[in-house]
Amino acid sequence: MMNRAAKADRIGKILDDLYPTQPIPLDHKDPYTLLVAVMLSAQTTDKKVNEVTPRLFSRADNPQKMSELEISEIHQIIREIGLAPTKAKNLQKMALQILQGGGEVIPDWEFLESLAGVGHKTASVVMSQSFGIPAFAVDTHIHRLASRWGLSTGKNVETTEKDLKKVFPKDTWIRRHLQIIFFGREHCPARNHNLSECLICGWASTKKRIREESIN
């Protein structure tokens, strides 16, 4: 049976072959607009976020302008997005916090994770995509695939992140995050997926897992 490191190596080669470049799926122009877009993407599709952010960024594409908008104005612009009332409050509060901290989004874990509405996953995306600092943001999709492929038995995203960081070399973390998301969307959906015919699940998943998820 293949160990996790060997499995990750083979998976990495497949992902590099399929996705030699990894465009960031959320439209943005700088660390602040990426931070806003990632925060908005929780429980919402990237497609929906990209439909809403042009209108938002035309009104407020920096913390100063965002802090000057009323929460009701922000809510009106982002209303089609999941959890819009909470996100509108967080966007205004986050803008004020950034201004208090010097006005810039900086590559500092403690600073980013202290911002309203920003958790470890959002901070990881900004650290890696905006600043090139190795991080491995794990969302529910990556968590699901890591489990399917036997790279983690983690019951939560925190454990899965630790497991993936152990098996993938640090200099691949940034691209692996996006590649696994792309693979999940295009080849490895959550439901009605025949694991035995999947390019990765077909050999990486256990027979038990393939059986459990088999389509009857």
pLDDT band of residue 215 (cuts 50, 70, 90) is low
Summarize pLDDT for 116-172 with one digit per residue, the tens.
999 999 999 999 999 999 999 999 899 999 999 999 999 999 999 999 999 999 999
Q: 41-73, pLDDT tens digit by residue? A: 999 999 999 999 999 999 999 999 999 999 999
Is there a single domain that holds both residue 8 and residue 39? no
| 175 and 205 together in one domain | yes
Verify whether residue 16 is a known catalytic residue.
Answer: no
What SS3 state is found at 16? helix
User: Cβ distance 90 to 117 under 8 Å?
Assistant: yes
Residues 142 and 90 in one domain: no
Residue 153 domain-assigned?
Answer: yes
Is 98 inside a domain boundary? yes
| Sign, CA torsion 203/206/212/216 | positive
Rounded to whole angstroms, what are the CA distances from 78 to 29, 40, 52, 57, 117? 19, 9, 6, 11, 15
Q: For residues 130 and 35, what is the distance between their CA atoms, to the nearest angstrom?
A: 9
CATH number at 36 reads 1.10.340.30
| Amino acid found at 86 | T
Is 121 a catalytic site residue?
yes
Same domain for 63 and 16, yes or no, is no
Whether residues 9 and 53 fall in one domain? no
> For residue 14, what pLDDT band results from cuts at 50, 70 and 90?
very high
- Which of these is catalytic: 7, 30, 87, 121? 121
Catalytic residue selected from 65, 139, 166, 208: 139
In-domain check, residue 74: yes
pLDDT(216) > 70: no
Domain containing 9: what range?
A: 4-22+138-212
Domains contained in the chain, number: 2
Residues 89 and 151 in one domain: no
Residue 123 lies in a domain: no
- Give per-residue pLDDT as tens, 80-113: 999 999 999 999 999 999 999 999 999 999 999 9
**CA 127, chain centre distance (Å):** 12
Check whether residue 189 and residue 157 sit in a common domain. Answer: yes
